[in-house]
Amino acid sequence: MVGIKKIYCGCGMMNVLLISDENYALQLTVLMTSILENSSNDFNEINFFIVNNGIAENSLEKVKSLETKYEKAKITFLSTDKIERSLDGVRDRLPIKNLSYFYRLFMDLILPEDIDKILYTDSDIVVDSSLAQLYNEDIDDYVVAGVIDINQSIFKEYLDMGSEDVYFNSGVLLVNFQKWRKDKIQDRIMDFIKHTTDKDLLYDQHILNHVLKDDIKILEPKNNVLTHMFTLNYKRFMGIFRIEDGVFNEKEYLEAQLNPRVVHYIGSPWGRPWEQDCKHPKTDLFFKYKDISPWANDKINYKPMNKSLMVKKAIVRFIFLSFPVRITSYMNKNNILNLRWFVT
8 Å CB contact between 60 and 33: no
Taking residues 270-299, report their average pLDDT. Answer: 96
**Paired sense of beta strands 117-121 and 168-176, if any:** antiparallel
SS3 122: coil
Taking residues 7-26, report their average pLDDT. Answer: 83
Is the pLDDT confidence value at 9 over 80?
no
The architecture in CATH of the region 13-341 reads Alpha-Beta Complex (3.90)
Q: Delimit the domains of the chain by residue range.
A: 13-341
pLDDT given at position 163: 81
Is the pLDDT confidence value at 5 over 60?
no
Higher pLDDT, 24 or 340: 24
If one counts every other C-beta atom within 10 angstroms of the C-beta of residue 65, the result is 15
8 Å CB contact between 19 and 27: no
pLDDT given at position 247: 85
Is the pLDDT confidence value at 240 over 70?
yes
Taking residues 278-306, report their average pLDDT. Answer: 95
Q: Nearest 5°: phi and psi at 207? A: -60, -50
Would you give the DSSP letter of residue 337?
S
pLDDT given at position 342: 44
Centroid of chain to Cα 118? 14
pLDDT given at position 102: 92
For 38-56, letters b (16+ CB in 10 Å) and e give bbbebbebbbbbbbbbebe
Question: Given its phi and psi angles, is residue 293 left (phi above 0), alpha (psi -120 to 50 degrees) or beta?
Answer: beta
Q: Which of 247, 246, 265, 248 is nearest to 256 (CA)?
A: 248
pLDDT by residue (tens digit) across 298-331? 999 888 888 988 999 999 999 999 999 999 999 9
- For the ranges 1-5, 95-99, 131-135, the lowest mean pLDDT is seen at 1-5
* Euclidean distance between CA atoms 249 and 233, whole angstroms: 12
Would you give the DSSP letter of residue 95?
S
Q: What angle do CA 235, 239, 243 make, to 5 degrees?
A: 100
Taking residues 72-91, report their average pLDDT. Answer: 94
Would you give the DSSP letter of residue 244?
P
pLDDT by residue (tens digit) across 100-115? 999 999 999 999 999 9
pLDDT given at position 304: 85
The pTM of this model reads 0.92
Q: Give Cβ neighbours of residue 321 (< 8 Å, ≥ 6 apart).
A: 231, 232
pLDDT given at position 11: 52
Question: Residue 197: which pLDDT band, with cuts at 50, 70 and 90?
Answer: confident
Higher pLDDT, 101 or 286: 286
Taking residues 40-62, report their average pLDDT. Answer: 96
